[in-house]
Amino acid sequence: MQRSALVVGASGIGGRHTVHELLNHGWTVYGLARRPPKDLPGMIPVAADLLDPAALANALSDVAPTHVFITTWMRRDSELENIRVNAGMVRNLLEALSHRKSVRHVALVTGLKHYLGPFEAYASSGTLPDTPLRESQPRLPLENFYYAQEDEVYAAAERDRFTWTVHRPHSIIGLAVGNAMNMGTTLAVYASICKETGRPFQFPGSQAQWDGLCDVTDARILARQLRWAADTDAARNEAFNIANGDYFRWSWLWRRLAAWFGVQAAGFDGTVRPLEAEMANDRELWREIARKHKLVEPDLDRLASSWHTDLDLGRPIEVMTDMANSRRLGFCDWQASEDSFFDLFSALRAQRLIP
């Protein structure tokens, strides 16, 4: 049977790679975004605002996907607002598709805040979670927009009789511009500024992150797990962590990232030094760098998401994920994490996004 996918958030870091993965395996792919990307040949663009139910229903009136991949979210100033907006987007989307009765499976991409708590309350539930993080761990007694998104999917699945999967990546490393959570590109921009100015490439995070074990999620391996789960009956109605499958310490990787750019690495020196403050006055500097090197994106805020990188690297505990749930069912892909960064840096340079 022909499979057709609606990738929601096609312009984002996870969505773009999911579109590529599905197209490369013969799927018909619709890509939904407020401004669908124009550089994904073969994707059928759907321009829509998930917060406008009437316009969304109109945009999807002729779209009847068998599979839906939800890879987007919106950041608001409080978790209650995050819940209202992000749960509303999922609800509006699935209601707009409900009348066609075409959807057989919905995949929702969330993340490790499922275990750690929302942005402003990492590990604030009174106890630190056990690591590696496992899908069997219960929800925290905190408001969390990931839980609200899941609940919308579960309710729609019961109503419309489709199956679902939830995918929980760690920090996603991959190419996207204008993405709200983009550690790899943020570090590439920071290293480029350090090289231009002679500043040391200073690790911005905590001692626990510097010395502890960590993992990340390549956007390509996330896309492969999404496709695998869509094609695997045994994966139905399950939640899956998704990471590269290797562990590293930032004390090891930081020096390797610095060497790629040819800058001086400076490690944890006893003080957390947030990138948001370090790069706060670099917007005009980046414009000058872009002019000098003929880069295509002079807007620092379109490339760097310092606030999110600070949250990840400033955590008071080491964070890594357990992959046993999908491994048991046959998903055994693996990705070297240093290559996730180096491949991204090469792509950024090739597309003239960094010098």
Run of H or E residues at 213: strand 213-214
Strand, coil or helix: 235: helix
3-state secondary structure of 70: strand
Cβ-contact 166, 150 below 8 angstroms: yes
The catalytic residue among 30, 115, 146, 147 is 146
Q: Give residue 20's identity as a one-letter amino acid code.
A: H
Q: Output the CA–CA distances (angstroms, integers) from residue 122 to 96, 315, 320, in the order listed.
A: 34, 8, 15
Q: Using CA atoms, how far apart are residues 51 and 261, in angstroms rounded to an integer?
A: 41
Spell out a b/e string for 271-299, using b for 16 or more CB atoms within 10 Å of the CB, else e.
ebbbbeebbeebeeebeebbeeeebebee
Decide: helix, strand or coil at residue 278: helix
Residue 247 is a catalytic residue: no
Could you tell me which residues come within 8 angstroms of residue 288 by beta carbon, excluding any fewer than 6 positions away?
none
HEC string of 135-165 equals: CCCCCCCCCCHHHHHHHHHHHHHHHHCCEEE
Does 146 participate in catalysis according to the annotation? yes
Q: Would the CA dihedral through 106, 111, 112, 116 be positive or negative?
A: negative
Helices (H), ranges, the chain: 13-24, 53-59, 79-98, 113-116, 145-160, 183-197, 207-211, 219-231, 250-261, 275-278, 283-293, 300-303, 306-313, 324-328, 337-350
Catalytic residues: 113, 146
